[in-house]
Structure 1
Amino acid sequence: MQRWKVNLAVLWFGNFMVMAGMTMITPFLTLYLQQDLGVEGEHAIGVWGGLIFAANFVTSFFFQPFWGKMSDRYGRKMMLLRSGFGMAFVIVLMGFATAPWQLLLLRMVNGIISGFVPAAVALISSAAPRERTGFAMGTLQSGATAGTILGPLIGGLMADSFGFRPIFYITGSLLFLASVLSWIMVKETFDKEAAARKPQASMLSGLRDLARIPQLPALYSVTFLIQFAMLSPMALIPLFVQDLHGTTVDLAFWAGLVGSVTGFSNMFSAPLLGRLSDRVGSTRVLIFSLLGSGLMFIPQAFVTNVPQLLVCRFLLGCFVGGLIPSVNALIRRYTPDGQESRAFGFNSSSLALGNMIGPVVGGALSGVIGIEGLFIVSAFFMLVNSVWAYRLLVKPRGSKSTI
């Protein structure tokens, strides 16, 4: 097997474990706070739960560009190992927390040392042949998506079987295993001496340098708007399912199915759309996916039962699978050699910012326009995003097409 394919297979598993580890806590966080950490009262549990869930994304937003800079200086594999082993240790420590502030602090530390996924993206994008970049990015993304989908399911099953604290020990151990596999099996061609001879710009000056390439700020904005539009209605979907279902029988099953069906179709469509982008161009696939995602949000505002919502969410995932992989492939295309990791670090910050702001704004708007209105708002952002991407990436400043 070609070396870049071996790297891709190992890092697919690593991405899966990282994202699964990040999301396993979701189903039982409030119960863990209540039963093991002694938090009492719905309001206090809700406040602590929100802070603990968001803490990882907040610190990640600020530190990803720094790790991207370090990756360009010392190599992507080193950043993979730093992040993987570091998060494994911190996640195990979460199982020993005895107070909510300790869990909050550990989640913040986890966000600070995170960076496995952008380092994996940078490593694969630099190692894969340019004509296979779309397939590689799509496949790598499917690993992260699979972890995001199955993480809550695995976490819920393990909570029922082993209790809450052992989940952190098991998750940390599996992440440690993924890091060991990356250490042994992932090979990177990186000239540290040549990297050391290059002048090292500060993060701010590095951002200014990248911002001079007009396509990169556009792609960062696209990443932010994708996450914003996708996550704005996410927290309210269980309540929407409850309204559509009309009964408490099997409610948890249907809410879970609606929440995961988009991820399942995303997981399978990402490699297929990646292959397509290798043939027709990443820009075409990105715009097609933005248009399709925007159109698939609209009927969700008008469904009258859960099966209709399931179909719409499944079709939405088919288009979503082409978004982030296409953005990553385009970032690699426009980024100068030697600055890939820094560019992906800034993109990871854009993604984290969308993850933070989307649910907050969605929750604030829901009281005014309802979740049906949020679906329309998300559709609007996706469709406008497609027009913006066309103007900035296909025919920038009236030049010839760069598809």
Structure 2
Amino acid sequence: MTTQQLVTRKSLRWELRGYDSRNMAFLWVGQFVNTAGLMMLVPIMPFYLNQIGTSGTAETQTWAGVAIAAPALALAVATPLWGKLGDRIGRKWMVVRALLGLAVAMVIMATAVAPLALVAGRLLQGSLGGVVEAAAAFAGSTGSNKKRGSSLGKSFSATAAGALAGPIAGGLLVGTGGLKLLMFIIAALATALAIICALGLREPEGQRNTSNLAQGGRFLQHGLLRQVPGAITLALAAATVYFGVYGLIPVYALHVDRIVDGGDSASLWVGVLHSVMWSGTLAGSFWWGRRNDSTKRPLHAFSLAIGGCAVSIALLALPLSPFLMLPIRLVQGFCFAALAQSLFHHFSQHAPDSQKSSSIGAANSFLLIGQSAGPLLAGPLVNALPIPAVILIMAGACSLSFALVVRTVRAE
């Protein structure tokens, strides 16, 4: 190879690295805005629903469960269609589409005067989603084997940062009437960011948008599932732990409301406690990513994190003051940070290079099952059982997930 060829190859490598850094920056900001918009209502959903027309615990909890689960349900249905389109036109335009969809959804939710309209906005938010999935697939498929954990950690830090900022803003504004204005601001930011991504986001040649459930389906059809150790068990464990974590959300708001005796302080505390959890997730995203790179055992991290989630959720069933809940939520968030990225890391490192993004799509589909089922079933459970008992059921789901994954961890 000539000196000129070496220089050309080196220059191309640095050019691609620059494109990757710019892409990740755009995707990080997109994830942050998307997640902030998605999560700002989640911890205070029962309080917001009371403002727009629900009455009574049963009705409010039922609508809260539906509203929280709606984006995940819509995402599971819509992404196969977006995946086919993304294969043809590229991941870049899927990101632009998702940001514009977020803008429209936020306007619908801001103008909602009935629970059904709010759920419609949440459904639209999920059906047009895809920023988080695109960024995770980009990080998992383009990062080097040595740094894949760190890349995934950085990607999920954007989700954690958005989920941290959103609930704080929602908790502060839900009782002041400023929440709707914030939704319009997020819609404007998402529109501006969509234009920036359309102009500046570059998809490397030869890469296709495989960060979706459609690719997860192909992952199964092509028999690649057999190449990932413990894939079936991990699929069940992923769905079960997310069932417990996300099923806690609508129940937890009511739990805190009763502890602090209602009022505006309840919504503020719910927002603070939810944000504390995501503060732990933000810190844990980087730590778990580096750990997975150094140990090369993402399933070990996955199992430790599941166990931590089970214990911390179980402790929340106790009649603790909000101040005592703070460290528990921090630990829960730190453990939660390892779940998705460790699962994605394991699936991607065992898949062939040409199918790494497909493997992430498959793993994500399993998480979405639990993410949607948990909130949907939490409402009926609250109507039938005491709140502490429902919280223990969610902790039990995480414990079951831990039991499922232990054997696979030993094999790893």
Note if contact 1:232-1:374 (Cα within 8 Å) is conserved in structure 2. Answer: no
Deviations 1:285-344 (A, max 9, x none): 222222333333343344644333222222222222211111121222233334444443
Tell me by how many angstroms 1:131 deviates: 1.1
1:9 counterpart residue number: 25
Distance 1:73 1:329, change over 3 A: farther
1:274 to 263, 266, 289: 289
Does structure 1 residue 312 correspond to structure 2 residue 328?
A: yes
Q: Which amino acid aligns with 2:251?
A: L
Aligned partner of residue 316 in structure 2, secondary structure: helix
Distance 1:253 1:164, change over 3 A: closer
Tell me by how many angstroms 1:174 deviates: 0.9
1:359 counterpart residue number: 375
2:337 counterpart residue number: 321
Does structure 1 residue 237 correspond to structure 2 residue 216?
A: no
Aligned partner of residue 122 in structure 1, secondary structure: helix
Note if contact 2:70-2:123 (Cα within 8 Å) is conserved in structure 1. Answer: yes
Distance 1:233 1:100, change over 3 A: closer
Distance 1:316 1:110, change over 3 A: closer
Does structure 1 residue 82 correspond to structure 2 residue 97?
A: yes
1:143 counterpart residue number: 158
Could you tell me how far apart the structure 1 residues matched to 2:84 and 2:355 are? 8
Does structure 1 residue 172 correspond to structure 2 residue 187?
A: yes
Could you tell me how far apart the structure 1 residues matched to 2:359 and 2:400 are? 24
Could you tell me how far apart the structure 2 residues matched to 1:40 and 1:239 are? 14
2:299 counterpart residue number: 283
Distance 1:270 1:386, change over 3 A: same
Note if contact 1:119-1:341 (Cα within 8 Å) is conserved in structure 2. Answer: no
Q: Which amino acid aligns with 1:268?
A: A
Distance 1:74 1:386, change over 3 A: farther
Could you tell me how far apart the structure 2 residues matched to 1:202 and 1:323 are? 21
2:351 counterpart residue number: 335
Q: Which runs of 5+ in 2 are unaligned?
A: 1-13
Note if contact 2:228-2:351 (Cα within 8 Å) is conserved in structure 1. Answer: no
Distance 1:60 1:86, change over 3 A: same
2:398 counterpart residue number: 382
Distance 1:312 1:287, change over 3 A: same
Tell me by how many angstroms 1:239 deviates: 3.6
Could you tell me how far apart the structure 2 residues matched to 1:23 and 1:251 are? 17
Could you tell me how far apart the structure 2 residues matched to 1:297 and 1:29 are? 20
Normalising by structure 2, we get a TM-score of 0.79
Could you tell me how far apart the structure 2 residues matched to 1:277 and 1:336 are? 19
Q: Which amino acid aligns with 2:106?
A: I
Note if contact 1:266-1:321 (Cα within 8 Å) is conserved in structure 2. Answer: yes
Note if contact 1:287-1:390 (Cα within 8 Å) is conserved in structure 2. Answer: yes
Note if contact 1:303-1:309 (Cα within 8 Å) is conserved in structure 2. Answer: no
Does structure 1 residue 208 correspond to structure 2 residue 221?
A: yes
Does structure 1 residue 186 correspond to structure 2 residue 230?
A: no
2:312 counterpart residue number: 296
**Share of identical aligned residues, percent?**
24
Tell me by how many angstroms 1:122 deviates: 0.9
Deviations 1:54-94 (A, max 9, x none): 43232112122443454455432232222223332443355
1:398 counterpart residue number: none
2:243 counterpart residue number: 228
Note if contact 2:246-2:374 (Cα within 8 Å) is conserved in structure 1. Answer: yes
1:23 counterpart residue number: 39
**Greater shift after overlay, 377-386 or 152-161?**
152-161
Distance 1:178 1:340, change over 3 A: farther
Aligned partner of residue 190 in structure 1, secondary structure: coil
Tell me by how many angstroms 1:135 deviates: 1.2
Note if contact 1:76-1:341 (Cα within 8 Å) is conserved in structure 2. Answer: no
Number of aligned positions between the proteins: 388
1:58 counterpart residue number: 73
Aligned partner of residue 129 in structure 1, secondary structure: coil
Could you tell me how far apart the structure 1 residues matched to 2:68 and 2:260 are? 28
Could you tell me how far apart the structure 1 residues matched to 2:262 and 2:106 are? 38
Distance 1:247 1:10, change over 3 A: closer
